[in-house]
Structure 1
Amino acid sequence: MAPRPRTRRLSRTLLAALVAAAVAVPVSGAARPSAVPAPAPAPLAPLRAATAGELAGRYEVNRAGIRAAERMAARHGDLVRAAALRPMASPARQFLTFDGRDGGRTVEAFGDLARARRIAVLVPGSDTGLDTYGRLRAGAVALRRQLGDRAAVLAWLGYETPGTVSADVVSPARATAAAPQLRSFIGQLRSMVGVGVRITVLCHSYGSVVCGRAASGLAVGDIVLYGSPGTGADSVAGLHTRARVWAGRGGDDWVAEVPHMRWELPFCTLGLGADPVSRAFGARPFAAGPGGHSDYLKPGSLSLANLARIVNGQHPVGEVRRAA
């Protein structure tokens, strides 16, 4: 007698978790990005308004913090981290926050935040940190160019992202811990820019689990999930948000093969919930083109064009293919 679909799905979920854990254990002894020392950041008062003068002062303080972190990484002998930090200290870069400790926590602004009427906040997924920050930055730059005038993009690296090959990536635990930080940041941003500015959060991969956990307290108009393995909820209603929730997935994205389950165990939660692009989940669909998991912010792509359209308050274009 063939196993029932639910049993097969549960088996796939458990298999994915066991494989991830089995792969993660042998490499757990390797040097971790969080092991690179960095100085504590200078204390900064909350920004009360997004004026050019206040922002310039904030950017300069964080620039000095990046240089100090680069020097400490070099003294520690981590030339990879030092090389990653060096361009981040350029006078052209704009960091609202920077903390080089524990793998790094940063918020970088792209565009003129003081004049912006539309702001996109990028929430990245697994394996994003100071050593791999170039990928997040490249996507932010591409989105900022696509958005046009009076728009800004904020790359929010505000949590310890899980490794793609780790047991953490099949659990919402990291996202649950990160959710208060994202809510706090969006709350401060809303106070800083005022109610007339449109704020959208764009949540990639495991970042969509963070957004899902934070959704009920996010003062934003739109939550966009792309390349998402789940949100920790079974439907949009389960997110408890008044924001419009969008979901899209590229035609060649491997995340489509991730089992969509959530299993409550005595010691943890396994699985990330329903597929956000399924009809049953209830998100507004948008076409993401034929690309893969890392292609959503690729210049010239349909996915980038539609993400920008949502941020700009326009309806996305193109044919949508939804999961069952």
Structure 2
Amino acid sequence: MAGPTGLIWRRIPLSRFSGDSGCGIPGVGVRGTAAAAPLSSTARSRRLPLTAPVPRRIAPSSACTRSRCGPFHRIRSIRVLTGCSTSSIASAKSSCSCANRLKSSCRDIPVIPSDPVGRRKNTSTSCNDGLGSSLVEPERVVDADDLERLAKLLTDKRQLAEQYYARACRLVGQAQATPLAAMLRWAGETATELGNRAAIVRAAEKGGDPFGALSEFGLSTAIGTVSGQDRTRLIKDLKSVINRNEAARPEQRAEAIRKFFGKLTAAERSSLAIEQPDVVGRLDGAPATVRYAANRLLIERALAHEQKDLAALKATDPKSPQVTLLEKRVARMTEFLQPRVTGDGRSVPRQFLLFDPAGDGRVAEVFGDLAKAEHVAVMVPGITNRLDNYQDLAIDAQTLITDPDTKKDLPKTAVITWLGYDTPELGDSVLQAKAEAGAPALHSFRAGLEAAKGAKFALFAHSYGTLLSSKALQQGTPFDSVVFMGSPGLGANVKSVADLKLAPGTPVFAMRAPGDWVSYSEAHGKDPAELPGVRRLATGHSSGHSQYYIPNNTALQNLQTILTGDGCYQSFLGSPELDDEQFGASAAPVLVKELQSRVPQWKVGELGAVFESAIKSALDGNADLKTKAAQIWQALQKANLDGYFTKEDIAAITAKTLAASGDLIVKRYMTMSLPAPQ
């Protein structure tokens, strides 16, 4: 089993907790006199954390008959050992006939100092610790349930010992009863520690490093204070809150989640993060740090799973295209677990408010300190963004939050990448279905965000993400400023800023770089750069569809100005004519509309797939109208869509497209030969 291993623990015979031994605390006699000094704080601090890998299980050698060997072959999760020294255990290993196998399987077992209670001096293989044990090898293997039962037993007996302590104080005075008080503290701390380790092992059985995930974000690791019954109750209560508010507005639902977590102890919040990471990690309204820890655990588990899938696929079908895809996904998840290096060289843990590896993958990452941020940007990407190529979006976010002068993160600022929906490929980007499905998720995500009091939230949407954002805004998603970049349109119903239903006075901006054919297509309505009430911004030397975040450029400077509210943005001052901006741009929306009008709505997605290669070539700057016309016709035939187009249709579409492009293009292409339907 991958993940944390247990600590080699000093064995405490259960017989020492029986009522016949007096107060039931180890080392305390029938008359309440202290027989052993309690575990000092120094000794406690020397205990190794539960972080080393669990030794793999091995079968004993047939030639191995020594009694000392057998128990080592039964290692499973948490082992309760006798109170023998490190040298004794080493001796037991080396004396076994399968010593080499033992060394490979047991070398990672951490061992506590040989004398944790200041009493045991014997380092021979015959251990006499005064607690009735004489064996060197581990006595038995216990799991999380055993540890929890032992912790409960310690807690119960501690309550009995408290009565004896009170009686001792009355009989001999508090000063004389001090050893009992120290032992009571020991019992309480030990019970908590046992419970912590049991809870961590229980979570680790599912994979990942829960203790590390909690520690990474400063969360409580004292999850052992949450009993099994309390864990069950917490999970039930959380599900109840979620179900009761399922139909509520996102703001109401997020507030209900906030109130629920606000009533929990730090240990209870941590417990939910590692017990229910798939629920808590994406739960809008839950504390950000709790979600960070839950998602880190999910990433660790997904990474381990896909690494196994990749190894198996390479062994059986190394030439499969899935190998490349899995390699990229594994690389991304590996990067997620590494620190983010800021512009000034600082390393900070990566913070995820959402992680779901299913399908193309969904991710939401926070750059900066969200809790202290006074300026927050939410980036919504468009077509072809997935988990395997997420690094491109992360680079844009890092560029956005980096101060160009100091190279540090912009002060009091956070940037969030929200890849929280199933983004379309080029083919199905002509449909609105994925924007409509993703809009409620963006609304819910925004409702669950908490930053500094009075923080301003900006929405930076790109490509197909502008269509989704438009629909989310119309549902009431609150943002203090909005920027649309490279938009194919905000929906046929959006004719002006008023149709977005924003709060009065909310500034709306748009960017369209020269050569951005996605914007020229107007596949989903009027380009927002042309809408009344929208302020079009300059893009500097950006060109094409994907250069709005390049460093040292006017477009990025405008985005940072809007995000922080510092400085002045630069408006677009060029010609309003499309063909002055890009030769032939005015023909694109005509061509798209003409083609869509001749195909049934339920076939539009297939039509988009037909044009995918042509669109890619245009985006790459390899557009040749005559060649593309031939390729499009061949693609229509291959997709069995040629039946929707006659020779006259092709001629009419061509004529309208050329007419929309002006006399220059008409004269240039009027004589070109088009492929005739067969």
Give the match for residue 495 of structure 2. 234
How far apart are the structure 1 equivalents of 2:574 and 2:437?
Answer: 33
Amino acid at match of 1:63: R
| Residue 470 (structure 2) aligned to one of 212, 236, 243 | 212
State which drifts further: 59-68 or 299-308.
Answer: 59-68
Measured on the aligned residues, the alpha-carbon RMSD in Å equals: 2.2
Amino acid at match of 1:225: F
Spell out the pairing of 1:234-273 with structure 2 (5 A cutoff): 234-242=495-503, 243-258=506-521, 260=522, 271-273=523-525
How far apart are the structure 2 equivalents of 1:186 and 1:47?
Answer: 8
| SS in structure 2 at match of 1:107 | strand
Give the superposition deviation at 1:96. Answer: 1.4
Question: Is contact 1:231-1:272 (8 Å) kept?
Answer: yes
Give the superposition deviation at 1:133. Answer: 0.1
Question: Is contact 2:284-2:445 (8 Å) kept?
Answer: no
Give the match for residue 79 of structure 1. 327
State how many pairs are aligned. 266
Give the superposition deviation at 1:195. Answer: 5.6
Identity across the alignment (%): 36
State which drifts further: 297-306 or 239-248.
Answer: 239-248
State the structure with bigger RCO (CA 8 A, min sep 6), 1 or 2: 1
Question: Is contact 2:490-2:526 (8 Å) kept?
Answer: yes
Give the match for residue 102 of structure 1. 359
Amino acid at match of 1:131: D
Structure of larger gyration radius: 2
Which runs of 5 or more structure 2 residues have no equivalent in the other structure?
Answer: 1-207, 209-275, 311-325, 340-348, 404-408, 578-678
Give the superposition deviation at 1:173. Answer: 1.6
Question: Is contact 1:252-1:291 (8 Å) kept?
Answer: no
| Residue 282 (structure 1) aligned to one of 533, 541, 556 | 533
Question: Is contact 2:374-2:452 (8 Å) kept?
Answer: no
Give the superposition deviation at 1:322. Answer: 6.3
Give the match for residue 279 of structure 2. 43
Is 2:456 the partner of 1:198? yes
Q: Taking structure 1 as reference, are residues 134 and 311 closer, same or farther at Cα in structure 2, changes over 3 Å only?
A: same
Is 2:371 the partner of 1:117? no
Is 2:574 the partner of 1:321? yes
Is 2:562 the partner of 1:310? yes
State which drifts further: 201-210 or 84-93.
Answer: 84-93
Question: Is contact 2:478-2:502 (8 Å) kept?
Answer: no
| SS in structure 1 at match of 2:570 | coil
Give the superposition deviation at 1:102. Answer: 2.2
Which runs of 5 or more structure 1 residues have no equivalent in the other structure?
Answer: 1-38, 261-270
How far apart are the structure 2 equivalents of 1:120 and 1:322?
Answer: 30
Is 2:448 the partner of 1:188? yes
Question: Is contact 1:118-1:152 (8 Å) kept?
Answer: yes
Give the superposition deviation at 1:194. Answer: 6.1
Amino acid at match of 1:248: M
| Residue 301 (structure 1) aligned to one of 553, 567, 583 | 553
Is 2:224 the partner of 1:224? no
Question: Is contact 1:230-1:275 (8 Å) kept?
Answer: yes
Q: Taking structure 1 as reference, are residues 195 and 150 closer, same or farther at Cα in structure 2, changes over 3 Å only?
A: closer
Give the match for residue 594 of structure 2. none
Give the superposition deviation at 1:283. Answer: 0.8
Give the superposition deviation at 1:257. Answer: 3.0
Give the match for residue 65 of structure 1. 298
Per-residue deviation, residues 169-206 of structure 1 (Å, max 9, x unmatched): 112221111100011111111xx236600000100111
Give the superposition deviation at 1:286. Answer: 1.2
How far apart are the structure 2 equivalents of 1:227 and 1:175?
Answer: 16
Amino acid at match of 1:186: R
Please state which structure has a larger fraction of its residues in helix: 2
Per-residue deviation, residues 199-226 of structure 1 (Å, max 9, x unmatched): 0010011110111111121111111101
- TM-score, normalised to structure 2's length? 0.37
How far apart are the structure 1 equivalents of 2:422 and 2:431?
Answer: 14
Q: Taking structure 1 as reference, are residues 231 and 48 closer, same or farther at Cα in structure 2, changes over 3 Å only?
A: closer
Give the superposition deviation at 1:55. Answer: 3.7
Question: Is contact 2:303-2:333 (8 Å) kept?
Answer: yes
Amino acid at match of 2:299: I
Per-residue deviation, residues 143-190 of structure 1 (Å, max 9, x unmatched): 0114720000000011000112x1x2112221111100011111111x
| SS in structure 2 at match of 1:298 | coil
How far apart are the structure 2 equivalents of 1:225 and 1:41?
Answer: 34
| Residue 416 (structure 2) aligned to one of 141, 154, 162 | 154
